[in-house]
Amino acid sequence: MYETSYHRAGSVADAAALMAKAEDGKFLSGGQTLIPTMKQRLAAPSDLVDLMGIAEMTGISDEGSAIKIGAATTHHEVATSPVVSEGIPGLASLAAGIGDPAVRHMGTLGGSISNNDPAADYPAALVALGATVTTSKRSLSADEFFVGMFETALEEDEIVTSVSFPKPSQSAYAKYPNPASRYAMAGVFVAKMSGGDVRVAVTGAGQDGVFRVAEMETALSSNWSAEAVAGVSVDAGDLLADIHGSAEYRANLVTVMAKRAVAAAG
Amino acid sequence: MGVDGIGARALRKEDKRFITGKGRYTDDMVLPRMAYAAFVRSPHAHAKVTGIDASAALAMPGVDAVLTGEQLVGDGIGNLICGWMVHSKDGSPMNMGAWRALEPEIVRHVGQAVAVVIADTQAQARDAADAVIVDYDELPAIVDAVAAMEAGAPQLHPEASNNLIYDWEIGDEAATNAAFEQAAHVTRMDIHNNRLVPNPMEPRAAVADYNDAEEHYTLYTTSQNPHVARLVLSAFYNVAPENKLRVIAPDVGGGFGSKIFIYPEEIVALWASKRVGRPVKWVSDRTEAFLTDAHGRDHKSHAELALDADNKIIGFRVQTVANLGAYMSLFSSSVPTYLYATLLSGQYDIPAIHANVKAVYTNTTPVDAYRGAGRPEATFLVERMMETAAREVGLSPAEFRRKNFVRSFPHQTPVIMCYDAGDYDATLDAALKAIDHDGFPARKAEAASRGKLRGMGLSCYIEACGIAPSAAVGSLGAGVGLWESAEVRVNPVGSIEVLTGSHSHGQGHETTFAQLISERFGLDTDSVNIVHGDTDKVQFGMGTYGSRSGAVGMSAIVKALDKVEAKAKKIAAHLMEAAEGDIQIEGGELKVAGTDKKLSFTEVALAAYTAHNLPEGMEPGLKEGAFYDPTNFTFPAGTYACEVEIDPDTGKTEIVNFVAADDFGKIINPMIVEGQVHGGLTQGIGQALLENAAYDESGQLVTGSYMDYTMPRADDVPSYQLLTTETICPGNPLGMKGCGEAGAIGSPPAVINAITDAINNNDLSMPATPERVWQASRAGLQQAAE
Ligand SMILES: Cc1cc2nc3c(=O)[nH]c(=O)nc-3n(C[C@H](O)[C@H](O)[C@H](O)COP(=O)(O)OP(=O)(O)OC[C@H]3O[C@@H](n4cnc5c(N)ncnc54)[C@H](O)[C@@H]3O)c2cc1C
């Protein structure tokens, strides 16, 4: 790791001010991606601005038709929150399946979506539930927020402060983990909103990160059952291929995970 | 702790230290004025070094020196050696290329060191290493061993044309070919044994301290065999004479073979310490471990098994290409030859065997012994062939094996080994019963009703441990003898120190060895200390690998104990005015049989040291040493049975039951043995399902971190069912065979045999990743439908 200066921000405004002063600064949340990257000398920020002490970025609140989760909330907190388990069980089980206990106690919602790893789990939930991302500057829909592999709409000095998830009538997430990293090789989040709107979002498999599968959404809108998606396959041409899985295999997993997610959603 | 003799499940004495963070590892050593080393490593698999510019690095804060290969060679530091001479079948010696601890001219694998930075802190050394500018002219690279032998392939070393190190053979080729002409059935397979990265929990490390007043070096290092390290550093690398070099291997966190070898980094640390006049510490990070710890396996073989009309094996023919990487590591030459092809007879009575092995250089990390070393490769080959042949001729795999078992001992195989004792039916019976083999069809049907595929696979392994009779290995090319030493020192108050040439890096010697003394004298294991790992304290010893510390290391202790016991009895007889033959040792006391006369062990020890009243002419003291040279290898054997359930939608394999029935001969501490088997099985299952060191065509290690290299985790393996049967090893005083490697040797074929049974397709290579199993099961289902 190269030398760096550490700052702990007390508020969102304070964090923005610290970042403005830094030569080449980075925000730090759980550090589960940023610190390993720095240790491998693949990132060398001059300054780290720690967001974990900012009260306004923490907490989970039930807002009736939606659940608002602060960006600095850890995966463990989301996984064990009664509010989330009750309102969006698929989201609680997704958070419970991220990494290992140590990672879940450190890693955060804000850090995960800002990083937008194509194999990360949260992006599937945000897109499938039609979540709204609130930043230090604006509000964005999930579809606008995720731009591509490791790419978001965030500006350099912009901080994700919270995410608001509309409550679905049914939802579930099914993930097939990469055997080595246990990130998603294919993770499918299915959601049926109270108005009957159905959304299916896939992570881990796409070359440009999270994506929706319109054909599955249509099929499920008329028939909410595992069989409805069994015959729907995604185009392998747009999928990732690596030593752990070819595009053809990932395409198969997307269909299998979609079936399992619908079955789990009940 | 109490008196815990042979057979007691004594808790490990060393665990309190390890569990509470009080272990002392090489990286815990901090010496005054210590500096840190960081290596500048090649990013290319094959390249000419055309220039090294260290000026920017030297100007950085805290930097003491930047040293290069040119200086190292100039100072007379010798090339790294391979300590086992293997001759090709035409009689020519193996073709060994030069390996320098820092390479001045041509780098041959990614991660090879070209320079070292010495600085005040580790961070400064690493920052400066990044600032050393090395100019390379890239050369074409080759990573596949078969392709490396083809005309026009990139050449690594001028000494080895076509990258061929040796073309070796064993067995009677004419007799084997004749058997194939008689064969009623021939089974043929191409088998790849995947390359593995050892991954001990503690990465390698070295702290070197040169004292110029005494011209003396001390090296703390992560070694499985500190005396061998000292010998090689002294005799071949010209670091210092042995009496001017102390090697200490303190607590070591796992080795699995990878810490047998002497690597460039230790040599450079010693040399640099003299150059800069300060102690120098180097600690490998995990990336360096992936790139520079000797890898394991990497064989490509073609095998043919000939059966007669009665399904008895009449011949076995094997051709293997072994990838040894860019350089010949310390024992690399012996692994695909004498540790591999000598086990090709398996548990079976095979009249004719012939094997040809070609060892080849490639632009990859050097390959050497890794848990099992050659024997897993042999077992995988033999047991995949056995299962496949059984399926082809329509016999149950158990029945086919039984038909061919060796049943009378000693049994001379056609490939050097002479099996001394065993009962292969006993382990097979035990395993089949424990896994409820008879109930398998019902379980398979039940799984099918849930859309799952069940399979059952066996592996009847044999291995050769207790390495090894010195004269025998010497005649096969070994550069060292493979005996072991021990010294038993009874202190004046009766507590005991045992100095052993074995080295514990996870095996629990401090407990097991103490149990021997506890058994012999009836003493508390707490009053026994095991001393190892320091060349200044312990007499010359050969170290720990090849499951030898029990069969060889403890045999040396037994010999020393015999001498201590004899002297103690003489003293007791003299003091109690009894005949020596009437003295019995029991519960920490020396008693005169048939009387109530007795002395405590402490009283006898004290008498030996006060020397006020000893038998006429007896030397004072109670301390004896012994060397033990085995007369044969030992032959642990057993049957592993594996039951899997496959999810055909994803190709995911779940091991639903795994039974290991092992014959390890005499067992000293069953709990420790079970721990060894658990670890070995998990590594073997890791090889079968998960682990693979994959290179791309340019020679970059694609699986260079845990993000891509799949280590087995607790939820990848089942709760094992372990059983043991016992045939006593006639070759050593305790009747022990060894248990350290069996799990890793026997398990991979059991797993692959089970999966191929489940998916009805035999064409599956390791690691059987979900994608591979998914692809193969689709093909298998198609075949079944046709
Ligand atoms: C061993 C291991 C296993 C893992 N397994 C999984 C898995 O299975 N699934 C999965 O989805 N993830 C997994 N992760 C990732 C982990 O769960 C975190 O979600 C991820 O590391 C990012 O969150 P963080 O809080 O640690 O962010 P950090 O590492 O602190 O930051 C990540 C990036 O986001 C930026 N950033 C952080 N917070 C904000 C913010 N509020 N606003 C703007 N930018 C911000 C940082 O500057 C940095 O660039 C794993 C990580 C590890 C180490």
The answer on A109 and A36 residing in a single domain is no
Residues in chain B: 786
Residues B693/B709, Cβ–Cβ less than 8 Å: yes
**Would you call B671 helix, strand, or coil by DSSP?**
helix
A114 touches ligand 1 (CB under 6 Å): yes
Mutational test site, ligand 1, from A51, A98, A115, max ligand atoms within 8 Å of CB = A115
Alpha-helical runs (H) found in B469-522:
470-475, 509-521
* B678 alpha carbon – ligand 1 mean position (Å): 34
Judged against a pLDDT cut of 90, whether residue B152 lies above it is answered with yes
* A46 and A104 within one domain: no
Which pLDDT tens digit goes with each residue over B49-95?
999 999 999 999 999 999 999 999 999 999 999 999 999 999 999 99
Q: Are strands B589-592 and B133-138 parallel, antiparallel or unpaired?
A: unpaired
From B520, B525, B553, B534, select the one nearest B740 (Cα to Cα). Answer: B553
Residues A24 and A92 in one domain: no
Q: Does B721 touch chain A (CB under 8 A)?
A: no
CB contact under 8 A, B771 and A244: yes
Q: Does A42 touch chain B (CB under 8 A)?
A: no
- Could you tell me which residues are beta bridge partners of residue B500? B486
> Which ligand 1 atom is at minimum distance from the Cα of A183?
8
Q: What is the pLDDT of residues B341-352, one digit of tens each?
A: 999 999 999 999
A137 has a pLDDT exceeding 80: yes
Cβ contacts of A114 within 8 Å, gap of 6 or more: A27, A29, A152, A154, A160
Tell whether A3 lies on the interface with B, counting CB pairs under 8 A. Answer: yes
Closest CA to B465 of B542, B546, B533: B546
Residue B169 pLDDT = 98
Q: What residues contact residue B66 under an 8 Å CB cut-off, 6+ apart?
A: B54, B57, B58, B115, B116, B117, B118, B128, B132
Which ligand 1 atom is the nearest neighbour of the CA of A36?
53
Which stretches of B566-715 are assigned E, i.e. beta strand? 583-586, 589-592, 598-600, 623-628, 637-647, 652-663
Is the CB of residue B573 less than 8 Å from the CB of residue B567?
no
Query: d(Cα B542, Cα B329) in Å, to the nearest integer?
Result: 18
Nearest CA to ligand 1 atom 36: A111
* Residue of B126, B710, B771 lying closest to A180 (CB–CB): B710
B178/chain A closest Cα distance in angstroms: 44
Nearest CA to ligand 1 atom 37: A111
At B608-656, the pLDDT tens digits run 999 999 999 999 999 999 999 999 999 999 999 999 999 999 999 999 9
Name the domain count of chain A.
Answer: 2
Q: Name the residue in chain A with its Cα closest to that of B690.
A: A179
Q: Which of ligand 1's atoms lies nearest the C-alpha of A74?
A: 25
Using the Cβ of B85 and the Cβ atoms of chain A, whether some distance falls under 8 Å is answered with no
Q: Please give the order of strands across the beta sheet that includes B453-462.
A: B453-462, B637-647, B652-663, B721-725
Cα(B694) to centroid(ligand 1), Å: 27
Q: Check whether residue A99 and residue A40 sit in a common domain.
A: no
What pLDDT, in 10s, does the model give residues A169-210? 999 999 999 999 999 999 999 999 988 999 999 999 999 999
pLDDT at A68 over 70: yes
How far, CA to CA in Å, does A226 sit from each of A127, A216, A220, A230, A231?
20, 10, 9, 6, 10
- On whether any CB of chain B is under 8 Å from the CB of A230, the answer is no
Q: Closest CB to B690: pick one of A2, A3, A179.
A: A179
Q: Which of A235, A29, A208, A236 has the alpha carbon at shortest distance from A119?
A: A208
Residue A31 and residue A132 share a domain: no
Q: Tokens for B636?
A: 């642990």
Chain B: give the shortest CA distance to residue A42, in Å. 12
Distance A108 CA to ligand 1 centre (A): 6
Residues A18 and A81 in one domain: no
Q: Tell me the chain B residues in contact with residue A181 when contact means C-beta distances shorter than 8 Å.
A: 706-708
Residue B694 with chain A: CB contacts under 8 Å:
243
Phi (first) and psi of residue A115, to 5 degrees? -75, -35
Q: Which residue has the tokens 């009940």?
A: A266
Say yes or no: A130 and A161 in one domain: yes
Q: What is the pLDDT of residue B3?
A: 84
The per-residue pLDDT for A244 is: 94
ipTM confidence? 0.95
Return mean pLDDT, chain B. Answer: 97
Query: What is the mean pLDDT of the segment spanning A4-14?
Result: 97
Contact between residue B319 and residue B401 where contact means Cβ atoms under 8 Å apart: no
Per-residue model confidence as pLDDT tens digits over B685-742 = 999 999 999 999 999 999 999 999 999 999 999 999 999 999 999 999 999 999 999 9
In this structure, are A83 and A102 located in the same domain? yes
Residue A45 sits in the same domain as residue A104:
no
Range of the domain at A218: 58-265
- Structure confidence at residue A218 (pLDDT): 97
On whether the pTM is more than 0.95, the answer is: yes
Write down all domains in chain B, each with its CATH number in brackets: 31-139+202-253+259-292 (3.90.1170.50), 140-193+295-394 (3.30.365.10), 420-462+635-786 (3.30.365.10), 483-628 (3.30.365.10)
State the DSSP code for B587: T
Dist. CA B467–CA B331, nearest whole Å? 13
Q: Does B4 touch chain A (CB under 8 A)?
A: no
Any atom of ligand 1 within 6 Å of the Cβ of A28: yes
Q: What is the pLDDT of residues B437-467, one digit of tens each?
A: 999 999 999 999 999 999 999 999 999 999 8
- B786 pLDDT higher than 80: no
- Encoded tokens for B777: 């099961």
CB contact set of B12 (below 8 Å; sequence gap of 6+): B508, B510, B511, B672
CA A217 / ligand 1 centre spacing (Å): 29
Q: Measured from the CB, is residue A31 less than 6 Å from ligand 1?
A: yes
Residue closest via CA to ligand 1's atom 51 equals A32
Which B residues 271-290 touch A at CB under 8 Å?
287
A40·B774 Cβ contact <8 A: no
| B186 alpha-carbon distance from chain centroid | 33
CATH no. for residue A144? 3.30.465.10
Is the confidence at residue B335, as pLDDT, over 70? yes
Q: What is the CA radius of gyration of chain B?
A: 27
Counting Cα atoms < 13 Å in the Cβ hemisphere of A88 gives 36
DSSP state of A186: E
Domain identity same for A253 and A151? yes
In this prediction, residue B58 carries a pLDDT of 98
- Percent of all residues in chain B with a pLDDT value above 70, rounded to a whole number: 100
Which residues 6+ apart lie within 8 Å of B785 measured at CB?
Answer: none
Ligand 1 pocket check for A160: Cβ under 6 Å: yes
Which chain B residues are Cβ-neighbours of A244 within 8 angstroms? Answer: 708, 769, 771
Assess whether A121 and A198 both reside in one domain: yes
pLDDT of residue B781 exceeding 80, the answer is no
User: Ligand 1 centroid to A175 CA: how many Å?
Assistant: 18
Task: Find, among B258, B247, B328, the residue nearest to B541 by Cα.
Answer: B247
**Helix (H) or strand (E) run with residue A255 in it:** helix A247-265
Cα R_g (chain A), whole angstroms: 18
- Which residue's CA is minimally distant from atom 39 of ligand 1? A111
Contacts for A13 with CB less than 8 Å, ≥ 6 apart? none
From B5, B1, B2, select the one nearest B666 (Cα to Cα): B5
CA atoms of B35 and B64, how far apart (whole Å):
8
pLDDT class for B1, splitting at 50, 70, 90?
low
The CATH number of whichever domain residue A37 belongs to comes to 3.30.43.10
Q: Indicate whether A79 and A156 sit together in one domain.
A: yes
Q: What is the 8-class DSSP label of residue B552? A: I
